[in-house]
Chain A
Amino acid sequence: MSDPSVTQDLIHGGEGPAASVVSSSNRPRSLWQDTWDILRHRKIFWISFIMLILFLLMAAFPSLFTHKNPDYATLAKSMDPPSGEAWFGYDLQGRDVFARTIYGARTSIIVGVLATLVTVILGGVAGVLAAYYARWVDSILSRIGEIFLGVPYVLGAIIILGTVAPAQSSPDRVTIMAVVIIVLAVLGWPILMRIARSSVIQAKHQDYVQAARALGAGPFRIIFKHLLPNSLAPILVYSTITIGSYIGAEATLSLLGIGLREPVISWGIAIADHTSYIRTGAHAMLFPAAFLSLCVLTFVMLGEAVRDALDPKLR
């Protein structure tokens, strides 16, 4: 959607979605222009968009939302319920739950976005290679993908993380985040490979690709200029939703004690730390859980809005 013509369309006030079908202008309308026209009339898109901006702000500048230090602990206030002074109450160590929840956004979003990025790169490259070179490259990559898909997600993550970073160890902040990101991506790439592969295969035998080849375009040019743009739409939709599910997965792994851990501040850790105190102080767990769910909801909602706009079947 970084297409400059889209913004131009915005300034001049593009036609509504109904008009776009029988557009009178001679300029052919791209898929992205149609999508944008539909999107900007959808309430659900704007709601998720505003929520996304809020969460991104929270991740980038947490001090805009709270002036408290998330690591400052007053043991006397341990598990105090929510009050005017601390909106979400205090956690087990007597730290402000609101401040910790705000600061937790950064970790979750970084892990979600980076893991998705690595997944897209791994899966996208494998998918395009498999589709373009077909034959044995395709067979080998598809079989490897099947093997990784054969390992159920949670199981695979637990096995790798349990071995590389067992619950007893205490790796530093960057290492453990990198490990979690890699684990999520390593187990997730085959699905993306399938998406990229099928859309490239569909495009491969189109006339315009044959024409490009006849004009002497090399594999690099064909892949990047002609094949890749075709798989962009499904990859974009899938990866937006994936960011959400990776954020949930990160929290799940942290909950099991093998994902992120102190001194990293994350929603998953906050929930994990207070699961045994569910009877006496559920607030320390419920607020981070609510933020976690809202953040996942944002990405899922955004992905679905874009998918609905892109999918001509539902129009």
Chain B
Amino acid sequence: MGRYTIRRLLQLIPVLLGTTFLINYMVWQLPGDPFAGRCGQRPCPDSYVSAMRAQFGLDQPILLQYWQFLKNMLSGNLGVDFNQVPVVTQLADAWPITIRLALLAVAIEAVIGISAGVLSGLKRGGFIDNVVTISTLFLLSLPVFVTGFLLQWLLGVQFQIITPTVSDEAPIMELIVPAFVLASLNMAFTARLTRTSIVENRRSDYVRTAIAKGLTNRRVVGVHLLRNSLIPVLTFLGTEVGSLMSGAIITEGIFNIHGIGGLLYRAITGQDYTIVVPIASLLVLVYLVSNLLVDLLYGVLDPRIRYE
């Protein structure tokens, strides 16, 4: 286990280097002028452009820029944006909100998705199964922003149950609907995964043994069946934590939440790439690390899986 962990950590390094290089390359080297719209209607004066290019090292070759970026990241220096505001302070404001939103979304996914999946998997072909199958199909085909605008319009404008946009402090109560929207797609996946897993395991020998031993239905399902069936579901939920954070860009935009997604989106539309690169790299790191943790968790949850 220990050796496996170390090997996976070592494997993480080239992927992380490659991904961050890709981000750096895409942001700085693809055609497009970062200073095109920064000075209002007129083009920026040459002195400003050359000063900025010198400050952010844009006149250097890409590999040198990347080396500088790595050195800054490793020393915890995220730099300043084009308006000379430190990226760290912006990140510190936005990070807690997005974490709250993502965790709430995972909780909603887990509770609703797993219970719907278990209920439909236990009575395959029954009424609940059909309802769950059809509603997950609908959830899967609704793009996140459609769900978002629809709920915002229905609950916020028509019935006025919620405020259509979230305030700056983003308390938990106001985040419930956005978190539901963020979770909607994965909720459907979770329900389906749980269902398939339950259906498969119901036919297994250990479940038959448990029933033959005369255990109550409650114990067979709750202890024997559920524990084994939830392994793939948990791993799915884990891997999705990372992608939820970047998926939050759209949800945060719709509900005007000042989290990482909103920050990133404003930075990209404002072409302030110095914020984009460190935040995107950070999101990738979260994504890769959560994938790694899930792989390790897999071995803990399922003793049949042995690493070496």
Contact = CB atoms under 8 A, between A and B. Distances in A.
Contacts of B276: 159, 162
B265 A155 contact: no
Nearest to B138: A297
Contacts of A162: 268-269, 271, 276
B260 to A, nearest CB: 10
Interface residues of B, number: 50
Given A147-B18, A168-B37, A256-B250, A152 B284 contact: yes
Contacts of B284: 150-152, 155
B145 interface: yes
A293 B141 contact: yes
Contacts, number: 134
B19 A150 contact: yes
Given A155-B246, A159-B23, A278-B149, A297 B141 contact: yes
B171 to A, nearest CB: 23
Nearest to B276: A159
B125 to A, nearest CB: 12
B283 A285 contact: no
A210 interface: no
A147 B19 contact: yes
- Most chain A CB within 10 A, of B26, B153, B276, is at B26
A143 B141 contact: no
Given A152-B283, A244-B141, A252-B143, A160 B30 contact: yes
B143 A279 contact: no
Nearest to A165: B32
B27 interface: yes
Given A166-B32, A256-B253, A278-B153, A152 B242 contact: yes
A193 interface: no
A297 B134 CA distance: 11
A86 interface: no
B31 interface: yes
A154 B26 contact: no
Give the contact-size bracket for chain A: 35 or more
A32 B151 CA distance: 42
Contact of A154 (B15, B36, B246): B246
Nearest to A244: B141
Given A151-B284, A154-B246, A164 B30 contact: yes
Contacts of B254: 275
A152 B246 contact: yes
Nearest to B134: A44
Contact of B287 (A152, A251, A278, A285): A152
7 contacts: A151-B22, A154-B246, A271-B145, A278-B152, A282-B157, A296-B142, A300-B140
Interface of B: 14-16, 18-19, 22-23, 26-27, 30-32, 36-37, 137-138, 140-146, 149-150, 152-153, 157, 200, 242-243, 245-247, 249-250, 253-254, 264-265, 268-269, 271, 273, 276, 280, 283-284, 287-288
